[in-house]
């Protein structure tokens, strides 16, 4: 069972997670990487705006102000999208959204 903080940590450390999944004999990282990749794909199919926001801020590390400018929305809207996207991704990864 994933929580929002763990999912956010995986997103922020996506490159490290990918390397750990390849190098680890333990399946924990492999399973987390697979769940995250599948979840991101489902999030993309569900809401492109949430997907782009989560990817831009958490994975690519864009500041909220820059992401808002790129998407032509307010900083508050980006904050809402981050929260909604992270919540949706967590539910997807936990199998609560099919």
pLDDT tens digits, one per residue of 2-35: 999 999 999 999 888 888 877 877 788 888 899 9
What are the two backbone dihedrals, phi and then psi, of residue 42, each rounded to the nearest 5 degrees? -65, -40
Structure-block tokens of residue 28 = 């924990």
Say whether pLDDT at 67 is over 80: yes
Instruction: Collect contacts of 80-83 with beta carbons under 8 A, ≥24 apart.
Output: 81/49, 81/50, 81/53, 81/54, 82/53, 82/54, 82/57, 82/58
Query: Residue 63: helix, strand or coil by DSSP?
Result: coil
Q: What is d(CA 82, CA 47) in angstroms, rounded to the nearest whole number?
A: 12
What is the model's pLDDT at position 28? 84
The overall average pLDDT reported for the chain is 92
Q: What pTM value is reported for the model?
A: 0.89
Query: Rounded mean pLDDT of 63-88?
Result: 97
What is the model's pLDDT at position 27? 83
For the chain, the structural domain boundaries read: 4-93
Query: Rounded mean pLDDT of 60-72?
Result: 96
């Amino acid at each position: 069972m994933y929580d929002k903080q763990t999912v956010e940590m995986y997103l922020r450390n996506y490159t490290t997670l990918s390397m750990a999944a390849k190098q680890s004999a333990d399946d924990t990282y492999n399973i987390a990487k697979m769940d995250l990749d599948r979840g991101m794909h489902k999030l993309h199919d569900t809401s492109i705006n949430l997907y782009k926001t989560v990817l831009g801020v958490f994975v690519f590390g864009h500041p909220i102000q820059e992401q808002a400018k790129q998407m032509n929305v307010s900083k508050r809207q980006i904050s809402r999208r981050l929260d909604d996207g992270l919540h949706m991704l967590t539910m997807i990864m936990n199998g609560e959204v099919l």
